[in-house]
């Protein structure tokens, strides 16, 4: 990589890790909120604090994380990506400062909404910056994905360790500091955002707004026309897969720390520090997420060796089996719990590279940015309802019913993968 490539990769890897650090720290805080608060007062009504209402509360932020992907994707074709990434980092840091001083659950919901809006800017901006500015794109995307996985694993681990020494409000205030430092780094970054485009055009750097956008959306009519074209083909099936994946992902992870709290893990000893106790469930949860890094890596390698549709079929089929067996296996004791947790972590992230690669297979190149905007809308936006689903299931039913519902989502996704296996991407895309 040249110096510009390295500068861009440094920026996007830091920002990507930050986004997922904050995203996965939130489930660690939910059990604390369930015990600290008793009522959610929204002015015109009051609601009891339970899994259903807290799930709905955090769904607001998680939904905005995905819903903002489409407008952010349009915006990044008009504003420098570095500026948007800086704003994203500032916004995430500000949201956690607001969280630190939140006196009520309603303000916690507001803080989550601010986080969701700010975080939604990142993926369209970061991926666009790599595609336009980095000449060694393959390596850049690999490093970018690895950084996100590091944030997924390190975020909850850092939160858990800080909770051993500090109150949760102090912890979230401390977590705001890395975002501020990353924002300063992004603001001062010296990069050429169009270096790869300029090189492709012969090095003259003559790129206007339209060439920069690469056939992007210029009007509401253009947006509607391109969207209709996308969903007229097999992309609609890929999009449905992303919905199932997002619902399963958010549904299983949001309350998993609390679910693990309720399991007997007698063979693992709690960690005592400063008068506080780290329950074994917390490091089982972190370990599960770390295994997910391996799932991403293996799937990433496999996507270069065959059709990604087979990975969708196999991965979601495995997730259906894991969901059905998770609680029965956990009841057998620690070894079985660790095995089934590792399998859940592995396959939960294993499926992601396959449906991401399928988006490219089933969409025309000229609408690729819009396609990924819809992808993130499905995974993070609609998928955020998984938190509400999980909260409601745990409040009104039993954990086993939640896992059966998750298994049903995985079965649907595997069925959609089976359908895609029968399709030829070149003919399914259309013209």
**pLDDT digit string (tens) for 162-205?**
988 899 999 999 999 999 999 999 998 888 777 765 565 555 44
**Unique residue bearing structure tokens 């916004």:** 91
216-275 pLDDT, tens digit each: 566 777 778 878 877 888 889 999 999 999 999 989 988 888 788 777 665 565 656 555
**Unique residue bearing structure tokens 């309603």:** 106
Rounded Cα distance between 39 and 20, Å, is 29
According to the 3-state scheme, what is the secondary structure of the chain? CCHHHHHHHHHHHHHHHHHHHHHHHHHHHHHHHHHHCCEEECCCCEEECCHHHHHHHHHHHHHHHHHCHHHHHHHCCCCCHHHHHHHHHHHHHHHHHHHHCCCCHHHHHHHHHHHHHHHHCHHHHHHHHHHHHCCCHHHHHHHHHHHHHHHHHHHHHHHHHHHHHCCHHHHHHHHHHHHHHHHHHHHHCCCCCCHHHHHHCCCCCCCCHHHHHCCCCCCHHHHHHHHHHHHCCCHHHHHHHHHHHHHHHHHHHCCHHHHHHCCCCCCCCCEEECCEEECHHHHHHHHHHHHHHHHHHHHHHHHCCCCHHHHHHHHHHHHHHHHHHHHHHHCCCHHHHHHHHHHHHHHHHHHHHHHHHHHHHCCCHHHHHHHHHHHHHHHHHHHHHHHHHHHHHHHHCCHHHHHHHHHHHHHHHHHHHHHHHCCCHHHHCCC
The larger pLDDT score, comparing residue 313 to residue 208, is at 313
Rounded Cα distance between 410 and 323, Å, is 9
Which of 77-86, 258-267, 292-301, 403-412 is predicted with the least confidence, judged by mean pLDDT? 258-267
pLDDT confidence of residue 324: 94
Rounded Cα distance between 95 and 42, Å, is 19
pLDDT confidence of residue 199: 60
82-132 pLDDT, tens digit each: 899 999 999 999 999 999 999 989 899 999 999 999 999 898 888 778 777
Q: Are strands 271-273 and 46-48 parallel, antiparallel or unpaired?
A: unpaired
pLDDT confidence of residue 295: 84
pLDDT confidence of residue 70: 80
């Amino acid at each position: 990589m040249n110096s510009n490539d390295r500068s861009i990769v440094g920026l996007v890897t830091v920002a990507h890790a930050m986004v997922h650090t904050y995203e996965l720290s939130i489930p660690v805080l939910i059990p604390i909120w369930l015990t600290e608060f008793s009522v959610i007062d929204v002015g015109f009504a009051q609601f009891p604090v339970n899994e259903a209402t807290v799930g709905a509360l955090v769904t607001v932020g998680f939904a905005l994380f995905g819903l903002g992907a489409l407008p952010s994707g349009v915006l990044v074709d008009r504003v420098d990506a570095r500026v948007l990434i800086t704003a994203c980092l500032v916004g995430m840091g500000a949201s956690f400062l607001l969280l630190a001083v939140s006196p009520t659950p309603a303000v916690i919901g507001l803080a989550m909404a601010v986080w969701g809006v700010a975080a939604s800017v990142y993926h369209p901006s970061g991926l666009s910056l790599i595609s336009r500015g980095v000449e060694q794109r393959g390596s850049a995307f690999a490093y970018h994905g690895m950084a996100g996985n590091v944030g997924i694993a390190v975020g909850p681990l850092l939160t858990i360790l800080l909770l051993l020494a500090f109150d949760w409000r102090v912890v979230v205030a401390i977590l705001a500091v890395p975002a501020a430092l990353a924002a300063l780094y992004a603001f001062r970054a010296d990069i050429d955002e169009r270096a790869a485009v300029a090189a492709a055009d012969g090095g003259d750097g003559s790129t206007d707004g339209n060439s920069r956008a690469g056939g992007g959306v210029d009007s509401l009519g253009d947006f509607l026309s391109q969207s209709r074209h996308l969903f007229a083909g097999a992309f609609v099936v890929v999009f449905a897969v992303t919905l199932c994946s997002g619902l399963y992902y958010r549904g299983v992870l949001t309350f998993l720390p609390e679910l693990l709290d309720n399991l007997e893990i007698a063979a693992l000893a709690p960690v005592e520090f400063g008068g506080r106790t780290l329950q074994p469930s917390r490091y089982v949860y972190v370990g599960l997420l770390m295994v997910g890094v391996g799932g991403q890596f293996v799937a990433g390698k496999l996507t270069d060796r065959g059709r990604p549709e087979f990975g969708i079929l196999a991965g979601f089929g495995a997730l259906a089996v894991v969901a059905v067996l998770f609680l029965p296996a956990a009841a057998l004791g620690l070894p079985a719990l660790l095995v089934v947790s590792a399998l859940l972590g592995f396959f939960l992230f294993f499926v992601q590279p396959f449906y991401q690669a399928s988006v490219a297979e089933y969409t025309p190149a000229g609408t690729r940015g819009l396609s990924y905007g819809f992808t993130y809308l499905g995974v993070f936006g609609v998928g955020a309802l998984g938190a509400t689903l999980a909260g409601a299931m745990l409040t009104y039913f039993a954990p086993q019913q939640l896992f059966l519902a998750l298994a049903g989502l995985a079965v649907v996704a595997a069925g959609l993968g089976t359908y895609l296996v029968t399709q030829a991407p070149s003919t399914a895309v259309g013209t």
